[in-house]
Amino acid sequence: MGDVIVGIESTAHTFSFGSVTHDGAPSNSTSALYRPETGGIHPREAADHHSQHAHDLLQKFLQDNQISNDDITAIAFSQGPGLGPCLRIGATVARTLSEQLEIPLVGVNHCVAHIEIGRNQTGCDDPVLLYVSGGNTQVIARAGDRYKVIGETLDIGIGNMLDKFARNQGIAFPGGPKIEKLASEWHALNPDADVSDCPLPYSVQGMDLNFSGLLNAAQLRINEGKELGQVCWSLQEHAFTACVEVAERALAHTGKTELLLGGGVACNERIREMSRLMCEQRSAEATWPEKRFCVDNGTMIAELGRRMLEVSSPILYHESDINPSLRTDHTIVEWD
Ligand code: ATP
Ligand code: FE2
């Protein structure tokens, strides 16, 4: 396949390998998803899952993409943010490969990787990013040498909120896609519905968001006997409108004209549609990568590793510690 940079993702549920060539052409990622039998994610169990799958997954990734060890010129891994035990597995695999193959190692910021794979895939240049995933909900824009967080959730991530609501209804992880299906089926049968028929709190506070009140209120509507499909629909309408409102104000404040969606919740057709409509009204453009690049994937880690290696040196072994609480704006952005 020629020279490639390999990326390893292991911040939470997903363990994934992916790669990009030196001019940024991405491979498919090869991924394994940890699904808790009951309850939410258990960090130690997720880490066990990742370490059990690491060897076979790597072999499959190399085989599927016809990559030999000689083709790999650098190895990138998620240094944070994420769950410590999970991050440690990815970092250990990365260090081992780096030593064995005698190739440079680069630690990347997972949140920034969502931005860079979006830029790579959509061709947008200087976007406001609406980053909506399980653990994170942030509105981000580049200012000087940082990606600055302009607004974010003050409590839980939007995806965790959707997953938790789903779990309370007996729907397995990940709940977001099932909620989307239930909501759109219900709405197709009730096209004239109004959100005031299933009222929920609106979760914008200045440029920030919160979702736990929405989660509790949605459960209350279920307890009161509302149909699950209707509550799913209203929940999506409220949560997505709040995100898109903050994104719109970020566009207005920064003067930027591109909105990029990223993170697993960006797979949702309704948040895409709302973003597109909002952007149309202000002569901006809404864009998003394919679903396989919205959810966590190794390819996005490889892509950010590639960009970083264009402008800076690889890290040394003693600099390769994970950082579970790494912030989006901690990483200095030196690439274009
Ligand atoms: P991060 O570490 O960036 O917070 P993550 O571990 O949450 O990422 P992602 O793969 O980015 O992982 O996102 C997973 C989330 O996306 C889950 O909460 C899942 O329910 C949600 N999701 C996936 N598809 C959809 C969809 N179609 N509609 C709504 N939510 C979705
Ligand atoms: Fe993510």
Q: Per residue in 9-37, pLDDT tens?
A: 999 999 999 999 999 999 999 999 999 88
Task: Calculate the average pLDDT of the chain.
Answer: 96
Tokens of 285: 């453009």
Check residue 98 and report its DSSP letter: H
Does residue 158 surpass a pLDDT of 70?
Answer: yes
Strand 105-109 to 128-132 pairing: unpaired
- The kind and range of the H/E element at 17 are strand 14-21
For the CA atoms of 311, 316, 322, 327, what is the dihedral angle to 10 degrees?
-30
CATH architecture type of domain 4-115+293-330: 2-Layer Sandwich (3.30)
Q: In sequence order, which residues have a C-beta less than 8 Å from that of residue 179 and are 6 or more positions away?
A: 162, 165, 166, 171, 232, 235, 236
Ligand 2 centroid, distance to 333 Cα (angstroms): 19
| Helix, coil or strand: residue 29 | coil
Which of 155, 168, 295 has the most ligand 1 atoms within 8 A of CB, as the residue to mutate?
295
Q: Per residue in 230-286, pLDDT tens?
A: 999 999 999 999 999 999 999 999 999 999 999 999 999 999 999 999 999 999 999
Q: In sequence order, which residues have a C-beta less than 8 Å from that of residue 287 and are 6 or more positions away?
A: 118, 122, 124, 127, 258, 259, 260, 261
Lining residues, ligand 1, CB within 6 Å? 11-14, 82, 110, 133-136, 157, 159, 162-163, 174-177, 180, 263-265, 267-268, 295-296
Model pLDDT, residue 42: 94
Q: In sequence order, which residues have a C-beta less than 8 Å from that of residue 284 and are 6 or more positions away?
A: 251, 256, 257, 258, 259, 278
Which atom of ligand 1 lies nearest, measured to the CA of 174?
20
Outline where DSSP puts E strands in 144-206. 146-152, 204-205
Outline where DSSP puts E strands in 86-158. 105-109, 128-132, 137-143, 146-152
CATH tag, 125-292: 3.30.420.40
Ligand 1 centroid, distance to 263 Cα (angstroms): 6
CATH 3.30.420.40: which residues of the chain?
A: 4-115+293-330, 125-292
Tell me the pTM: 0.95
